[in-house]
Structure 1
Amino acid sequence: MVEQSDRAPLLDWEEIPPTKLSQAKENGTDSSPPGRRPLGSTASTISCGSPAVVTAVPSVNGSPRLDYPGPWDVPSPIHADPGISLKERVGWEERDQIVSVFVVTFDTRSGNMVEWCLPPDVNLDGVEFKSMASGSHRIANDFIYFRKGCYFGLACFANMPVESELERGARMKSVGILCPSYTLLYRYMHFLENQVRHQLQCPGSYSPLEAFYEDKKAVLAPAGTGAVPACPTSGWFPAINRCMHPEMKITHPAGCMSQFIRFFGEQIMVLWKFALLRKRILIFSPPPVGVVCYRVYCCCCLANVSIPGVGVSVPEFRPFFYINVADIAVLATEMSYVACTTEKIFAEKKELYDVYVDNQNVKTHRDSLQSLLRLNGADRDKYRKLSEQRQMLLYTQEVDGDCTSNEEDLFILFFMEQNNRIFQTLSEVAGSEDPTLTEDHMRAMGLDPQADRAFLVDLMEVYNVDAMLVVDNPCCR
């Protein structure tokens, strides 16, 4: 059964002081709840306009492995060793790189406006609408992931009743940050939640935000490029299990993959095909928008491929998270993206998207994609296998107390392996003396020889695969 609720339970965020953390490690205690990992543990951070770079990253056994940035080029899983710390495991330490911190308020005369920011000369045009989603006046609080140029943002919104005619009985604010990578944003959720409450109760008290920015600010590149020096945080490390993070309890999209798939049920297989084809996917939902931003991230994870080189020539599958009407001009230039919105007007802007998701209803206005909306036997079989693997995992965790894997790892690796199987087969056929795909090849890829024919033809065209389907075979007509 598909869950009808539009809300996913939020995960906690707690930053344990270093002293308590060291004591916990000495005592061998683990305070992290199951399945909590930092966003970025399963795929690659997407940078703005930068080419893919192959980076040597130390592996657990000391030999180098290649890290291929991009949602289609993801390295092999890092296997946990309880005796090796996270920093030793990946060979780097995430650095605080906050580009900007800001406060947005709703003014009854002027509407949304940036009330305060650091640095004072940073370009925040439009951030006042990204940080306070349309329709937010009807809810008490929310959090919003968004994209601003080459940066990603996280803002926490709160709405507090006040006895003031000037404010019309309600005070609404958002406190947010900009960062070059959304793998770092989860760190500051709790801080932003506290600060937006503080701003509601004590408007104009910016000292904590000033101290925060001075402590976490990014070192920008010279010559006014606005770029932040690259660091290995741009690599996502797949299947880093929760045993590596005993000090963290966090709120982030990676923690919602299981809720995402349970919410959509078998329709996840439809979204998977559209994601693999790099279509423009727009998700509509009324506020709160935080959980919907999680679905944007999860959609991107469906297209992961760990075969080096696959997807280099295709459009980048870009997560835009929350968007509004101010983003229309930008979206008009995008060939591939996933985004969410609370504004119904986008449903009428059909030139901006290929796939429109309203709650659990996946739709497309393009005739060439209509056949992909219909589930076939191979789709149902894959979903059944996914469900069986999940049940086995839950049984193992309950009976054996096994913490070496979790639902997020299982779901992401399931689709990665499915994608790998498809592209490995296509690569082998295209490189053979007879580059012809048969019924056996399609079955080997986990596809329906008849119902998935149009999908496979589109896939080969998008990824420039030089092969052909058998046209005189009844199974492929």
Structure 2
Amino acid sequence: MVEQSDRAPLLDWEEVPPAELATAGPSPVREEDPSAGDPSHRRPPSGDSAGVGWGSALGGGAAGVTAVRSTAPPERVGPEGDASATDEEGDCAFLGLSVKDRRITEWEEKDQIVAVFVVTFDTRSGNMVEWCLPEDVNLDGVEFKSMASGSHRIANDFIYFRKGSYFGLACFANMPVDSELERGARMKSVGILSPSYTLLYRYMHFLENQVRHQLQCPGQYSPLEAFYEDKKAVLPPGGNGLVTACPTSTLGSMVNRCMHPEMKITHPAGCMSQFIRFFGEQIMVLWKFALLRKRILIFSPPPVGVVCYRVYCCCCLANVSIPGMGISVPEFRPFFYINVADITALETELSYVACTTEKIFEEKKELYDVYIDNQNVKTHRESLQPLLRINSADREKYRKLSEQRQLLLYSQEVDEDCTSNEEDLFIVFFMEQNNRIFQTLSEVAGSADPTLTADHMRAMGLDPQGDRGFLVDLLEVYGIDVMLVIDNPCCPQQCFGEQM
């Protein structure tokens, strides 16, 4: 039993990851859709009981480990099962990182919870915010973001989403009840808001416990009240609530973590592994759209948790660590789950990746450039359609990525090497590919003869013919001034150029 400290009493626990994490598949319950209804708010009085545990994992095979704080720092177990010591203060940092690495990422290790809330589905009013802290926080639309359309057909799920300048994580659960008033099913979500999605995974297990508690003991919010008092953010005055990019002083061996921080939202297999297996060579198509900062929308029926992984992985495809590169292009922003309430916000976005369970978005072609349905990647923009074709250079890059993955898996199995993981490999692979392209383009643009040839394209890992259109678009998007000269395969002696 853990001795109590002077912290919030209901937060002095030690969370232990479940020994076995079962993936919960779709489970039809009722026909009523919780996404419809009046988004009015009600806040029943608070109760006093403590939270109860919920041992099952959420849909999609994901498991989060809550940040642990106690008077006697326990041994930490990383997401791959490897034990790693705590830092000198006994505080929880990135799981699986060394003490030195955790010192490097200390700038991210602050509690930044700006709101906690409970959403319920009412058979008369639809989705509604049942309770929240602080009471004056603007949660308009959160009742639909944290309970995806179609969720009534599944048992549980987790959802990453964006609310204004904040990011949210909600855990949803659907419990059968013997109640005609509730039509045989009780559905709730418990969620949090933060200026950054980087560390939301740390609270997934807590949210998972609390949504089950809310289903079993409606109206008892004491654990959530204590959680908010313990974790609430102290945001800078006059700020917009956004967490800025990683300070340059922390770059170096941790550049990939800083440029696109780990979500740690999956179990040992990792979301990158699932992403690679799901899309295969199509990853190279997504990579090009991501590098061109296109608006990418992913459709999938619930559960939506695993699709939030794909949003994150798509963002990782566009990492570049060359200083100053990409400053003039739109930020490639993850919106995670969206619904019809987000249409107005998306109309002004120049670049994003998002997912939805609402098929109506496919008809809103003005809102996206690329639409992904299952493994089918398509675009309604004629100028982008050639990028859907996989060429020889794409296959070669995918072959190299697959070889690196196999070597990593072999070293983990045979040599018991736990120092590397697939997420790092994936991020670094595409970052190095992107760096090679932009480094070459920068060197050519700054040379006495700013002419880009087929040899340059091969050196960048691109197909001189198949990737010509992609490169033309890339030069335009990033404002790089070079002359592109590629041999015409039909007339080898004839060349054409394009001044960008």
TM-score by length of 2: 0.78
What corresponds to 2:41 in structure 1? Answer: none
How many aligned positions are there?
419
Q: Distance in 2 between matches of 1:395 and 1:171?
A: 46
Task: Return the match for 1:462 from 443, 456, 477.
Answer: 477
Q: Distance in 1 between matches of 2:385 and 2:82?
A: 37
Pairs within 5 Å for 1:40-439: 84-92=99-107, 94-222=109-237, 227=241, 237-238=254-255, 251=266, 255-439=270-454
Aligned partner of residue 280 in structure 2, secondary structure: helix
Deviations 1:91-128 (A, max 9, x none): 54611111100111111111101011111111101000
Instruction: Kindly indicate whether the alpha-carbon contact (under 8 Å) linking 2:64 and 2:201 is maintained by their aligned counterparts in 1.
Output: no
Instruction: Kindly indicate whether the alpha-carbon contact (under 8 Å) linking 2:66 and 2:206 is maintained by their aligned counterparts in 1.
Output: no
Task: Return the match for 1:34 from 80, 101, 104.
Answer: 80
Do structure 1's residue 444 and structure 2's residue 459 form an aligned pair? Answer: yes
Letter in 2 for 1:10: A
What corresponds to 1:11 in structure 2? Answer: 63
Instruction: Kindly indicate whether the alpha-carbon contact (under 8 Å) linking 1:35 and 1:407 is maintained by their aligned counterparts in 2.
Output: no
Instruction: Kindly indicate whether the alpha-carbon contact (under 8 Å) linking 1:283 and 1:358 is maintained by their aligned counterparts in 2.
Output: yes
- Quickly say closer, same or farther: Cα 1:472–1:81, change in 2 above 3 A: closer
Q: Distance in 1 between matches of 2:434 and 2:373?
A: 26
Instruction: Kindly indicate whether the alpha-carbon contact (under 8 Å) linking 1:97 and 1:217 is maintained by their aligned counterparts in 2.
Output: yes
Q: Distance in 1 between matches of 2:147 and 2:295?
A: 24
What corresponds to 2:47 in structure 1? Answer: none
Instruction: Kindly indicate whether the alpha-carbon contact (under 8 Å) linking 2:294 and 2:352 is maintained by their aligned counterparts in 1.
Output: yes
Of residues 158-167 and 232-241 in structure 1, the stretch that sits farther from structure 2 once superposed is: 232-241
Letter in 2 for 1:360: Q
Of residues 123-132 and 250-259 in structure 1, the stretch that sits farther from structure 2 once superposed is: 250-259
Deviations 1:286-339 (A, max 9, x none): 000001011101100000011111100000101000000000011010000000
Instruction: Kindly indicate whether the alpha-carbon contact (under 8 Å) linking 2:454 and 2:486 is maintained by their aligned counterparts in 1.
Output: no
Q: Distance in 1 between matches of 2:327 and 2:407?
A: 35
Q: Distance in 1 between matches of 2:269 and 2:109?
A: 17
Q: Distance in 2 between matches of 1:280 and 1:249?
A: 25
What is the CA-CA distance between 1:389 and the residue it aligns to?
0.9
Q: Distance in 2 between matches of 1:406 and 1:229?
A: 26
- Quickly say closer, same or farther: Cα 1:380–1:153, change in 2 above 3 A: same
Instruction: Give the 4+ runs in structure 1 shifted more than 6 A.
Output: 228-231, 233-236
Q: Distance in 2 between matches of 1:397 and 1:253?
A: 12
Letter in 1 for 2:136: D
Instruction: Kindly indicate whether the alpha-carbon contact (under 8 Å) linking 2:320 and 2:434 is maintained by their aligned counterparts in 1.
Output: yes
Q: Distance in 1 between matches of 2:256 and 2:481?
A: 32
What is the CA-CA distance between 1:251 and the residue it aligns to?
4.2
Aligned partner of residue 470 in structure 1, secondary structure: strand
Q: Distance in 2 between matches of 1:253 and 1:204?
A: 35
Instruction: Kindly indicate whether the alpha-carbon contact (under 8 Å) linking 2:196 and 2:242 is maintained by their aligned counterparts in 1.
Output: no
What is the CA-CA distance between 1:87 and the residue it aligns to?
3.7
Where relative contact order (Cα < 8 A, 6+ residues apart) is larger, the structure is 1
- Identity between Structure 1 and Structure 2 (%): 78
What is the CA-CA distance between 1:344 and the residue it aligns to?
0.0
TM-score by length of 1: 0.81
What is the CA-CA distance between 1:427 and the residue it aligns to?
0.3
Deviations 1:5-48 (A, max 9, x none): 998532352555546644x4xxxxx74353899xxxxxxxxxxx
What is the CA-CA distance between 1:455 and the residue it aligns to?
0.2
Q: Distance in 2 between matches of 1:293 and 1:36?
A: 26
Segments of 5+ residues of structure 1 without an aligned counterpart are 25-29, 38-77
What is the CA-CA distance between 1:81 and the residue it aligns to?
9.3
Structure with higher Rg: it is: 2
Instruction: Kindly indicate whether the alpha-carbon contact (under 8 Å) linking 1:160 and 1:170 is maintained by their aligned counterparts in 2.
Output: yes
Instruction: Kindly indicate whether the alpha-carbon contact (under 8 Å) linking 1:94 and 1:233 is maintained by their aligned counterparts in 2.
Output: no
Instruction: Kindly indicate whether the alpha-carbon contact (under 8 Å) linking 1:421 and 1:445 is maintained by their aligned counterparts in 2.
Output: yes
What corresponds to 2:40 in structure 1? Answer: none
